[in-house]
Structures are given as structure tokens and as C-alpha cells.
Amino acid sequence: MSTHDDQGLSLHHITVRFGGLLALDDVSLRVPPGRIVGIIGPNGAGKTTLFNVICGFVTPQSGAITLDGRPLRPRPHHLHRHGIARTLQGVGQFGGMTVLENVQVGLRSRRAKPEDAYEALERCGVAEHAKAHPAELPYAKRKRVELARALAAKPRILMLDEPAGGLDPDEIAWLADLIRDAGTTVLLVEHHMDLVMSVCDEILVLDFGKPIALGSPGEIRTDPKVAEAYLGAAA
Ligand SMILES: Nc1ncnc2c1ncn2[C@@H]1O[C@H](COP(=O)(O)OP(=O)(O)OP(=O)(O)O)[C@@H](O)[C@H]1O
């Protein structure tokens, strides 16, 4: 029986090794419905690997994932069945399709209707480009199309992988509003600290695969272990 406490996505003691490299070392995280949770850490800390575990691209050596208390054995092509959508680093769109068609690809969720694709483009401010091909658009617009593709499926969990990469401050401010108003659970991997600190309810900090801190933006900002991890990475 599931209880209020196990609603949402939970990672339990996830460990991933690539040969001799410990990419994730006993990582646990609870993501309750509606929360915006950031995952940060220096380069190589294991952030993308954690996303890949949730999406089923990487199988952990040990640990488990649960969704609303039930075991989740994720497979990349079945994520929509669980209401999970992910944007990719960069833009990753199909060149042979229009912007609208690219967004329709994200609509396999049972909860989504065909008109949701256009609505998601409108929400992301790129509906006027519906008939264009992604390659004709500037980078920032293509990133908006990528967000629309994920949002169109009306996911209950939206996973954003470095959405601010390559964007200017105005675009990042727009992105921050979109994330805050997403009305869904958000998992955010991002290097742009101001964005993470301004939108997240809770932040998990990884360093060399180990969880070194978990807390509110205020707690993370003043945590000496976090400062040390970033200073070490900069040295
Ligand atoms: N498929 C793989 N095979 C071998 N090693 C891998 C593989 N994927 C990731 N790694 C290694 O695992 C560690 C964690 O990598 P990961 O990409 O998850 O870090 P990250 O925190 O996302 O880094 P970045 O901020 O640079 O994107 C790194 O040392 C990386 O080289």
C-alpha cells in the first residue's frame, strides 16, 4: 500500500560503477509531487548519470527507484507511460521534421491531446515557428522547442538537463519563470547557480558521485562542504 510519504519519485541507495570509476556512490533522494529539485556538483560529479539512471539509460549496480511507492524499472522508450519527460543537453531535434512535428513526437502520453503540441509551443513563445524546421531557428529558440516537446506531454515529472546552457540572461530569466510556473515536479541538472538558487525548493549536491549536501538554496549556499567541492574543482 502506498502512503502519503512515498508519493513522488524516490531514489534509494543508487550506486553506479563504470569499470573502476564510482560514478554514483549510495545516492538517495526523495522528490515529492510538485517540488522543484536541483542536482548540482562540479564537472564529473555524476549528475547526468543520475538522470540516466532515472530514464533507464544506465542500470545501477545496486539500489532501487520507486514512483509513488511502487518499484520503477525505467526504460527510455516507456518513460511517458510513467508521466516522465526529459529535455536533452543541447537541442537534439529531428532535422527532417517541422517544429510542430518535433513537439508531436513527445505526445505519446495518454494524458496528451494533439492540440497540446501547439499549446506547448505557444507557452514557450515559439508557436509562430511551428512550420519551420528546427535548423532554421537560432539556438535559444531551438532550446524553447525542446522545452515545448517535453511540456506537451503534460508530464508529472519534468527532467531538465542543463536547460540554461548557451542562453543569455534574458532567456535565463524567461526560463526561470517557466520552471516556477511549470505546475509539475521538476528535476533540474544545471551549472547556472543563480538559476538553480532562484527556482529550486531543494538541492542535492554531488561530488565525485557522493551526495555531500541536501537542503534549501539558503542551506546549500552557506554549506562549507559545497564551497570546498567547488573550490577543489576550480583549483
Ligand atoms: N558511459 C560511461 N562510461 C564510463 N564512464 C562514464 C560514463 N558516463 C559517465 N562516466 C564518468 O562518470 C563520471 C560522472 O559523469 P557524469 O557525466 O554523470 O557527470 P556530470 O556531473 O553530469 O558532469 P558534467 O557537469 O561535466 O556534465 C565522470 O567521471 C564520467 O567520466
Q: How far apart are the first and last CA of the chain?
A: 49
Query: Ligand 1, residues 15, 17, 21, 203: which to mutate, most atoms within 8 A of Cβ?
Result: 21
Vertex 11: Cα angle to 17 and 188 (nearest 5): 90
Classified as helix, coil or strand, 35 is coil
ipTM of the complex as predicted: 0.97
pLDDT for res 226: 93
Domains and CATH numbers, the chain: 1-83+157-166+186-235 (3.40.50.300), 90-155 (no CATH)
pLDDT for res 108: 64
Going by pLDDT thresholds of 50, 70 and 90, the confidence category of residue 101 is: confident
CA of 101 to the centre of ligand 1 (A): 32
CA 23 and chain centroid, separation: 18
pLDDT at 234 over 80: no
pLDDT at 111 over 70: no
Going by pLDDT thresholds of 50, 70 and 90, the confidence category of residue 77 is: confident
Query: Ligand 1, residues 15, 49, 189: which to mutate, most atoms within 8 A of Cβ?
Result: 49
Q: What is the mean pLDDT of the chain?
A: 89
Lowest mean pLDDT of 90-94, 206-210, 227-231, name the range: 90-94
pLDDT for res 80: 82
Q: Which residues contact 13 (CB under 8 A, 6 or more apart)?
A: 26, 27, 28, 62, 63, 64
CA of 24 to the centre of ligand 1 (A): 10
CA of 214 to the centre of ligand 1 (A): 21
pLDDT for res 78: 81
Distance of alpha carbon 211 from alpha carbon 230, whole angstroms:
14
Sign of CA dihedral 101, 103, 108, 112: negative
- The model's pLDDT over 114-153, given as tens digits with 9 standing for 90+, comes to 688 899 999 999 999 999 988 889 999 999 999 998 898 8
pTM value is 0.91
Closest by Cα among 116, 117, 163 to 144? 163
pLDDT for res 3: 57
- The model's pLDDT over 34-75, given as tens digits with 9 standing for 90+, comes to 999 999 999 999 999 999 999 999 999 999 999 999 999 888
- The model's pLDDT over 149-179, given as tens digits with 9 standing for 90+, comes to 889 888 999 999 999 988 999 999 999 999 9
pLDDT for res 106: 63
User: Helix %, strand %, coil % for the chain, to 5?
Assistant: 40, 25, 35
CA of 57 to the centre of ligand 1 (A): 13
Ligand 1 binding pocket (C-beta < 6 A) is 18, 21, 23, 41, 43-49
pLDDT at 203 over 70: yes
- The model's pLDDT over 173-201, given as tens digits with 9 standing for 90+, comes to 999 999 999 999 999 999 999 999 999 99
pLDDT at 214 over 60: yes
- Whose C-alpha lies nearest to ligand 1, atom 7? 18
CA of 48 to the centre of ligand 1 (A): 7
- Whose C-alpha lies nearest to ligand 1, atom 3? 18
Extended beta strands in the chain, E state: 9-18, 21-31, 36-40, 62-67, 70-71, 84-86, 157-161, 185-189, 202-207, 210-215
* Cell numbers for 203: 538541492
